[in-house]
DNA sequence: ATGAAAGCGCTAACAA
DNA sequence: TTGTTAGCGCTTTCAT
C-alpha cells in the first residue's frame, strides 16, 4: 500500500480509502481512484489480513468444531454451513475433537486465540455412566464470541441450537415397523448421554406403548464403550437371537451402527428384509441396501440454519438467547 | 500486556520477554518473572494472534484443502494430518473444494490471504474428456508457501507428494481375483484423469496380461459424469450381465463405487460371493460385507507423512523439490 | 478531495 | 537486567 502511495505520490490514507471502496463517500476524484486501482493491480496488491484484523474486531472467520468429519452426518452439515458462510463472505475454520474432551478444549482455545467471529459446534458427549464435565462448554456462554450448537444442546444453557425432531422421528419409524408387521422390535443405540439419543429412545417407547406393546428390557441394546462397540454389539445380537421373543424389527439410532448390525445378523444367518426389518437414523439412499426404513435428517438444512443463525447474531448483535430451531426428519420407506 | 507492565511499573519489553520464555536468555530476575507471570494469570492475559502474526512471518496455521471430507479416504487422511500438526503446534485450517475448480481457486486465495505457513492438498481432477486447466495449481510452485500434494500429483511440477502404490495395489488385487478362480474380471472406475486412476488401470491390465487373459473393452466400465454415476453404472452393469462373458470378478477403484455396484448387482439377482467377487480400493473392514478383497490404503499414514514433509520443509526451509513418497497398500482377503 | 498522525498489540534491535 | 524506540500494514479521526 505504501508502495502504491509512493509511486503515485499521494498519501497512504487516500489509497486505503479507495481500496476499501469508501472513495465515493469521501468524494475522491475518479482519476485518482483509477490510478490507484490500476497501480494496485499492477503491483498485485493483496491486503494483509492480520493488519486488518488487528484494527478491526472482525476476522471473518467462523470456527466449526465437530467430533469428527467422516460420518455422513457431519459432512452434510458441513456442506450446509459452507454454503451459507461462503455466501456471507466468511471463511470456515474446521477442527475435529475426535470424540475427545481434551482435544475439544484445546480447539476451543485455538479458535478463541484466533479470534473467530463465531463458532458452530457439535460438542462431545459422554457415554452413559462416564463422569464428565461440561464446564468448558458452559463457559462459552460468557465468552465474547457467539456460538450455535448443532444436533444437541445443553438444557438450561443460554446458547441457541439447531436440532432435529428426534422423538417424532423415532416414533414414526417405530410405528412403521409395527404397521409393517414386526412383532418384536429391538432398540439398538450407543448409550450416549445426550439430548438427541434420549429423545429417540422416548419416541421408540411412545410408539410401542401406543400400540399396546410391552417394552422389554431384553430388546433394548445400549452400547457403552466406543472401542468395544463391535464386540459388544455382537454379543448383544447373539442373546437377542437366542431369546424367546426373537426380534424381527430394529430401531437403530445411528447409521454406522445399522451397517454393523446387518453384517453381524448376516453372519448369524439372518438376512435383512427376509428375516427382519430395520429402521435407522441417517440415510444415504443410493448406497443403502434395500429393506431399510431410513429416518432422514435434513443434515444440510441443519447446517444452513445454524450458520444463518450465527451470522445473524454476529451482524445484528442480537443475542438469540437459548433459541432452538427444530427441523423435521422424514421417514423413507423401503 | 501494557496493563501488566503499567500495574507492575515495569516496561512492556520486559513483560514481552518473560511471557515469551526468553527470560533466561536475558537474565531477568526471577522475582520480576514471577510477578509478571502471576499478574498475567490474574489479568487472564491472552496474547493477540494478529499482532504476533503481523510482526513475525509465521502464523502457525496449515491450510488443508480437499475435494470433500466425507469419503472415508479423506477423513482418515485428515486424522493423520491432525496428529502430526497438533503435535508440532500447528493449527489446521480445513477447506473443501467440493470437486469444484472455482471453489478450489477461491479457497487457495483465502489460504494465501490468511498467510498460512503451508498447504496440504488433494487437488481436483477433471473427468476424462473435460477441458480443464491446472494453472492455479501450477502457480503454487512459485508461491511463497510450501505445498505438499496427497494421493495425486502433477507430473513435472516441482511440488512434493505423498501417494500410494496404485499400480501394485491394483495388480495384486487383480491377481488374487484370478487366483481365486475368476475368469472374467471387469474393471469399474470413475473415468478421472489423474495419476492414481491411470496407475490402477495399468495394474489391472498388467495382471491380466501376465495371466494370459485378454483385456476386453467390454469389461472396462469407466464412468464419466459425477452426476450420472448412479445411472450410468446401472446401465453398464446391465450390459455387462447381458454379455457373453459375464464377469465373475470386479476390480473397483473406489470404495463408494463398490457399494453402488453391489447394490445394483443385487437388484439384478446376483449376490456377492455366490455369483461374483469384488476387489476394491478403500477398506473399512468392520463394516464391509464379506467376500470382498480390499486394497487398503494407509490413509492415516499418508496424512502423517505429508504433514511431516510439510513441517520439515517449513522449518528447515529445505525445498523438497518434487520428492515423492510412495506408501504401500495392503491387500485384505475376505 | 487529500494528507498527517495516532494507534491496533506485539516484537526485537539497541541503548543504558 | 531493564527500558527506549521503531516498526509490522492497515484504519480512522481530524485537519486542511
* pLDDT tens-digit series, residues B125-150: 999 999 999 999 999 999 889 999 99
- Residues of chain A above pLDDT 70, percent: 96
8 Å CB contact between A263 and A239: no
A266 close to B (CB below 8 A):
yes
Handedness of CA B309, B313, B316, B318 (dihedral sign): positive
β-pair partners for A209: none
> How far is B18 from B30, CA to CA, in rounded Å?
10
Position with higher pLDDT, B213 vs B37? B213
Under 8 Å CB-to-CB from B54, ≥6 apart: which residues? Answer: A48, A50, A51, A54
Position with higher pLDDT, A226 vs B306? B306
Find the residue closest to C13 using CA and C1' atoms.
B13
Average pLDDT value for chain B: 90
pLDDT of residue A201: 98
Average pLDDT value for chain A: 90
CA of B26 and C1' of C12: distance in angstroms?
13
> How far is B44 from A83, CA to CA, in rounded Å?
36
- DSSP codes joined into one string, B171-198: HHHHHHHHHTT-SSEEEEEE-B-SHHHH
| Global pTM value | 0.87
Q: Is B59 exposed, middle or buried (0-12, 13-18, 19+ CB in 10 A)?
A: buried
> How far is A274 from A265, CA to CA, in rounded Å?
12
- Residues of chain B above pLDDT 70, percent: 96
What's the pLDDT tens digit per position in B106-131?
999 999 999 999 999 999 999 999 99
A117-121, A269-273, B67-71, B243-247, range with the lowest pLDDT = B67-71
pLDDT of residue B287: 60
Question: Is pLDDT at A309 greater than 90 in this prediction?
Answer: yes
Under 8 Å CB-to-CB from A218, ≥6 apart: which residues? Answer: A239, A240, A243, A245
pLDDT of residue B169: 98
pLDDT tier for residue B46 given thresholds of 50, 70 and 90: confident
| B253-265: average pLDDT | 90
pLDDT tier for residue B44 given thresholds of 50, 70 and 90: confident
What's the pLDDT tens digit per position in A83-126?
999 899 898 998 889 899 999 999 999 999 999 999 999 999 99
Nucleotides of C under 7 A from a protein CB: 1-5, 7-13
pLDDT of residue B285: 59
| A74-81: average pLDDT | 89
pLDDT of residue B289: 65
CA of B49 and C1' of C10: distance in angstroms?
9
Position with higher pLDDT, B112 vs B9? B112
Q: How far is A284 from chain B (nearest CA, A)?
A: 11
- Number of DSSP helices (H) and strands (E) in chain A, helices first: 13, 12
β-pair partners for B220: B187
Question: Is pLDDT at B306 greater than 80 in this prediction?
Answer: yes
CA of A114 and C1' of C9: distance in angstroms?
14
Residue given cell 423413507 in the structure block: A332
Position with higher pLDDT, B23 vs B330? B330
Grid coordinates of A223 = 452400547
pLDDT of residue B29: 82
Position with higher pLDDT, B212 vs B46? B212
Report residue B95 CA to chain centroid gap: 12
> How far is B57 from B92, CA to CA, in rounded Å?
17
Find the residue closest to C8 using CA and C1' atoms.
A55
> How far is B148 from B161, CA to CA, in rounded Å?
5
pLDDT of residue A33: 86
> How far is B85 from B87, CA to CA, in rounded Å?
5
Residue given cell 472415508 in the structure block: B72
Q: Across the interface, do A91 and B110 touch by the CB < 8 Å criterion?
A: yes
pLDDT of residue A285: 59
**In chain A, positions 99-138, which contact chain B (CB-CB < 8 Å)?**
103, 106, 110, 112-115
pLDDT tier for residue B291 given thresholds of 50, 70 and 90: confident
A237-241, B11-15, B210-214, range with the lowest pLDDT = B11-15
Nucleotides of D under 7 A from a protein CB: 1-5, 7-13
Q: In what order do the strands lie in the sheet with B220-223?
A: B220-223, B185-190, B249-252, B277-281, B292-296, B330-332
pLDDT of residue A256: 83
Is A115 (CB) below 7 Å from strand C? no
Is B43 (CB) below 7 Å from strand C? no
Across the interface, which of B69, B79, B290 has its CB nearest the CB of A78? B69
pLDDT of residue B26: 75
Position with higher pLDDT, A96 vs B175? B175
For residue A122, give the DSSP letter. -
Question: Is pLDDT at A190 greater than 80 in this prediction?
Answer: yes
B70-74, B84-88, B127-131, B150-154, range with the lowest pLDDT = B70-74
- Residues of chain B above pLDDT 90, percent: 61
Is A239 (CB) below 7 Å from strand D? no
Is A11 (CB) below 7 Å from strand C? yes
8 Å CB contact between B238 and B267: no
Q: Which residues of A touch B267 (CB under 8 A)?
A: 290
Question: Is pLDDT at B69 greater than 80 in this prediction?
Answer: no
Under 8 Å CB-to-CB from B216, ≥6 apart: which residues? Answer: B184, B245
Under 8 Å CB-to-CB from A327, ≥6 apart: which residues? Answer: A162, A163, A164, A165, A297, A298, A301, A302, A305
> How far is B92 from B81, CA to CA, in rounded Å?
9
- DSSP codes joined into one string, A83-103: HHHHHTT-EEEEEE-TT-HHH
Position with higher pLDDT, B259 vs B280? B280
| A173-180: average pLDDT | 97
pLDDT of residue B34: 85
What's the pLDDT tens digit per position in A23-60?
777 788 888 888 888 888 888 888 889 999 988 878 99
pLDDT tier for residue B231 given thresholds of 50, 70 and 90: confident
Question: Is pLDDT at B276 greater than 90 in this prediction?
Answer: yes
- Using C1' positions and the CA of A52, the closest nucleotide is D10
For chain B, the residue count is 334
| B184-204: average pLDDT | 96
- Using C1' positions and the CA of B12, the closest nucleotide is D3
Q: How many CB atoms lie within 10 A of CB A113?
A: 15
Question: Is pLDDT at A286 greater than 80 in this prediction?
Answer: no
| A215-237: average pLDDT | 89
| B216-235: average pLDDT | 88
CA of A18 and C1' of D11: distance in angstroms?
12
pLDDT of residue A70: 64
Amino acid at each position: 500500500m505504501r508502495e502504491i502511495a509512493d509511486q503515485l505520490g499521494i498519501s497512504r490514507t487516500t489509497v486505503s480509502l479507495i481500496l476499501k471502496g469508501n472513495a465515493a463517500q469521501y468524494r475522491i476524484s475518479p482519476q485518482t481512484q483509477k490510478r490507484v486501482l490500476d497501480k494496485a493491480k499492477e503491483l498485485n496488491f493483496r491486503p494483509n489480513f492480520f493488519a486488518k484484523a488487528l484494527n478491526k474486531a472482525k476476522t471473518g472467520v467462523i470456527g466449526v468444531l465437530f467430533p469428527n468429519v467422516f460420518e455422513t452426518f457431519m459432512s452434510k452439515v458441513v456442506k450446509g454451513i459452507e454454503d451459507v458462510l461462503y455466501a456471507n463472505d466468511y471463511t470456515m475454520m474446521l477442527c475435529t475433537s475426535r470424540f475427545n474432551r481434551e482435544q475439544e478444549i484445546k480447539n476451543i482455545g485455538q479458535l478463541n486465540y484466533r479470534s473467530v467471529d463465531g463458532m458452530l459446534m457439535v460438542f462431545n458427549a459422554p457415554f452413559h455412566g462416564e463422569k464428565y464435565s461440561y464446564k468448558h462448554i458452559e463457559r462459552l456462554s460468557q465468552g465474547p464470541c457467539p456460538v450455535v450448537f448443532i444436533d444437541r444442546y445443553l438444557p438450561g444453557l443460554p446458547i441457541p441450537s439447531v436440532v432435529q425432531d428426534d422423538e417424532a422421528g423415532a416414533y414414526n419409524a417405530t410405528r412403521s415397523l409395527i404397521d409393517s408387521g414386526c412383532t418384536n422390535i429391538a432398540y439398538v443405540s450407543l448409550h450416549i448421554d445426550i439430548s438427541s439419543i434420549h429423545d429417540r429412545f422416548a419416541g421408540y417407547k411412545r410408539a410401542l406403548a401406543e400400540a399396546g406393546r410391552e417394552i422389554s428390557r431384553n430388546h433394548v441394546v445400549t452400547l457403552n464403550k466406543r472401542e468395544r462397540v463391535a464386540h459388544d454389539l455382537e454379543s448383544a445380537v447373539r442373546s437377542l437371537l437366542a431369546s424367546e421373543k426373537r426380534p424381527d424389527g430394529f430401531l437403530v439410532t445411528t447409521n454406522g451402527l445399522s451397517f454393523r448390525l446387518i453384517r453381524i445378523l448376516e453372519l448369524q444367518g439372518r438376512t435383512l428384509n427376509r428375516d427382519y426389518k430395520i429402521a435407522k437414523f441417517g440415510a444415504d439412499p443410493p448406497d443403502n441396501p434395500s429393506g431399510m426404513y431410513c429416518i432422514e435428517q435434513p443434515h444440510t438444512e441443519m447446517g444452513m440454519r445454524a450458520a444463518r443463525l450465527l451470522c445473524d447474531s454476529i451482524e445484528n448483535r442480537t443475542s438469540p438467547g437459548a433459541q432452538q430451531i427444530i427441523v423435521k426428519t422424514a421417514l423413507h420407506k423401503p
